Amino acid sequence: MRTFIAVELDPKIKSALSELIDRLSPKDADVKWVKKQGMHITLKFLGEVPETKIQDIIYSLRKACDSLDSFQLCFRGTGFFPPKNKLPRVLWAGIEQSPHLAILHERIEVELGKLGFLREKRSFHPHLTLGRVKSSKNINALLEELEKHRETNFGRMKAEKVALIKSTLKPAGAEYDILSEIQLK
């Protein structure tokens, strides 16, 4: 099964980001927008995992989260990957630097590494994916609108739990099922 580890979002944050998508989508660019119910902060993508390994992953995730306190996250600004002069592939909303989120991410990398999951080669840049660009159709108008929200504050939330999530790819988009949630202190 296809799995990943993430922080689920507060409904108010999901609503604020959905409103942003509602302002961006009339630009009629060729973008597959993230649905409100699918918004999350990915901490580690695990990929295809045999069902027999799920309990080991949950145990490692509990170890990674052990003794960590819940913490605040602030969602601010917008941008895209890769940088300018190339066709963007991902449109995102930013998450302000959080030492707590960085520590959580590092502990997950260490514990899952013990199970044979490779460490991500790129450095951790937390963000929330808003959409994936499919072609250059109307991209300039969309990027102009996205730029208007470069400093927008989308709200704060308390990160209180980490989830192991199953992702099932369907023609209408991915469907997510929470396999386990680990509560932070």
**How far is C-alpha 44 from the geometric centre of its chain's CA atoms?**
9
Judged against a pLDDT cut of 90, whether residue 59 lies above it is answered with yes
Element housing 91 (H / E): strand 90-95
Q: Tell me how far CA of residue 175 lies from CA of 32, 49, 58, 77, in angstroms.
A: 14, 17, 20, 27
Cβ distance 70 to 184 under 8 Å?
A: yes
The tens digit of pLDDT for each residue in 5-42 reads 999 999 999 999 999 999 999 888 999 999 998 899 99
Predicted local distance difference test score (pLDDT) of residue 169: 87
pTM (whole model) above 0.75: yes
Cβ distance 29 to 139 under 8 Å?
A: yes
Q: What amino acid positions are annotated as catalytic residues?
A: 40, 127
The matching CATH number, chosen from 3.40.50.11060, 3.90.1150.10, 3.90.1140.10, 3.90.198.10, for 2-183 is 3.90.1140.10
How many whole angstroms separate alpha carbon 124 and alpha carbon 130? 18
The tens digit of pLDDT for each residue in 95-152 reads 998 999 999 999 999 999 999 999 988 888 889 999 999 999 999 999 999 999 999 9
**Greatest Cα-to-Cα distance within the chain, rounded to the nearest angstrom:** 48
The structural domains of the chain, with segments of one domain joined by +, span 2-183
Take residue 133 and report the two structure tokens written for it. Answer: 């660009």
Residue 153 or residue 83, greater confidence? 153
Judged against a pLDDT cut of 80, whether residue 63 lies above it is answered with yes
